[in-house]
Amino acid sequence: MANMIEISEEASCGAGWRDEFRTKLDRCGFVIIEPGDANDVKFDELMSELGDPVVYGFGTKLSLEPQEGSDNLQFTTRGMPLHADSTFNAGPAVKYIGMQCVRAPEVGGETLIASAAAFFANAPADLIDTMQNIVVEYRNRIDGYYKDRSVGDHPRVDPIQVDPESGEKRIVMGFTDPDDPMRTHDAMVVGYSAEESAKLLRRIEAMLHLPSVLYAHKWRVGEIVILDNTRVLHGRGAFPNQARKLIRLSVG
Ligand SMILES: [Fe+2]
């Protein structure tokens, strides 16, 4: 499937989800398990079917909600640019990211999901070519939370990689909110001027936001979404002045 509009319809699981969610996860890169259906399963048990919990400095389960005065973008009501998890810190590899909604905002706060397959089917060939010939350096200024790389260790990452398991091309990138003081995923194309780099990253990011590539998931309480971190990028819409709480559990 090459269009996110079709992919997102397919990713939604109905009553028979228990039998089909893994097939859907493989086909779509993510699945949505609706609240009524999600109620008869324990989130942790479902995730443990997919792998071993990833252990971070804070443990395995993360309560994703705004924290008063936090300078970590993750714990604010701001938007979070698209990114893949586990590439930019020294933590273990993440294969699947599970999230269950405890509190849903009325407006905004969507989880943004961009499909690599849809990107490769819809992005112009010259852009994909360019991406195959660049390396991106990341300087994350958040520390003391994830398993951080040592000071001065700035990962350099090929934005397009071949997944060793599936043989499929994947996108391994993170984008920066220029107004985020901690510059989560501060990205720079190696060998480019700051201006050229910003221009190219903006172009890639815009392609990832095409309706044929990006799906914005509006949460309902109780719902579970599972993302394949090797096949989709994820991010978040802003939700100013509202409450939102997700429980996240990733497995490797
Ligand atoms: Fe993330």
pLDDT of the residue at 58 = 83
Model confidence at 27, pLDDT cuts 50, 70, 90, reads: very high
The three-state (H, E, C) secondary structure of 210-242, written as one string: CCCCEEEECCCCCCEEEEECCCEEEEECCCCCC
Predicted TM-score (pTM) of the model is 0.94
Structure tokens given for 38:
């999600």
Per-residue pLDDT averaged across 37-52, rounded? 84
Q: How far is the CA of 235 from the centre of ligand 1 (A)?
A: 7
Residue-wise pLDDT tens digits, 149-158: 777 778 899 9
Q: In the predicted model, what is the mean pLDDT of residues 6-25?
A: 88
Residue-range domains of the chain with CATH: 4-251 (3.60.130.10)
pLDDT of residue 90: 67
CA–centroid distance, 58 to ligand 1, in Å, is 15
* pLDDT value of position 150: 72
d(CA 2, CA 160): 17
Q: Where is pLDDT greater, at 232 or 144?
A: 232
Percent of the chain with pLDDT over 70: 94
Looking at residue 143, its pLDDT comes to: 61
Q: How far is the CA of 229 from the centre of ligand 1 (A)?
A: 9
CA 150–ligand 1 middle distance (angstroms): 20
